[in-house]
Homo-oligomer: A and B are copies of this chain.
Amino acid sequence: MALKHAVLAALLDGEYSGYQLAKAFDIGVANFWHALPQQLYAELTRLEAEGLVAGRQVVQETRPNKRLFHVTDAGLAELERFAAGSAKPSFIRDDLLVKVQAVDRIDAGPVIEQLDERARIAAAKAEVLGKLLVRLRGDRDEADFLAHGTRIGPYLTCLRGLGFERETREWCERIADVLRARIAAPQRP
């Protein structure tokens, strides 16, 4: 039941429809979790049945109707309970890393291409996150915002996301260079 708390945490910032939530979790603006739309709709249904979120129907003229959800008091209490419990460490699980692990026993060409591609994706995401940080803190500087802002949770997770994407980019670029150099130069072990 991990997605459950991720959804509750995401809904703390206001009312969202399943569709909006799905975008945040799919594109990865929500830097603390990832999930597909189908999962989110199902989870929202369960959460509503448990009374942890409440939804209201919004009738729209030009678009299909939607349901906006918010966290109830019971939902906040559930989050509180969750936060007090212990968390297991998170693990890396990445196809690209598996390929790099095997890289000197297979053709390095496609792996290098994918490292370049991943570096580009990480750079783009880092930029998005950088802008999001500026938007979240408004006109204040970071230290002031973190010391006195009223809602810093999303900012803090965003900082983690930015660090992660930067690291990813640097690593990808460096490894791609190392592999290119090995192809260019003769191997004398």
Query: Which residues of A line the B interface, CB within 8 A?
Result: 2, 5-6, 8-10, 12, 28, 31-34, 76, 79-80, 82-84, 86-107, 110-111, 114, 118, 121, 146-154, 156-157, 159-161, 163-164, 167, 170-171, 175, 178, 181-182, 185, 187-189
Contact = CB atoms under 8 A, between A and B. Distances in A.
B10 A91 contact: no
Nearest to A107: B80
Given A87-B114, A101-B153, A178-B156, A185 B147 contact: yes
Contact of A83 (B106, B121, B163, B170): B106
Given A101-B9, A111-B83, A156-B103, A33 B92 contact: yes
Contacts of A88: 95
B79 A151 contact: no
A136 to B, nearest CB: 12
A101 B148 contact: no
A86 B182 CA distance: 23
A87 B103 contact: no
Given A32-B98, A147-B182, A156-B175, A92 B164 contact: yes
Contact of A76 (B2, B12, B106, B161): B106
B33 A102 contact: no
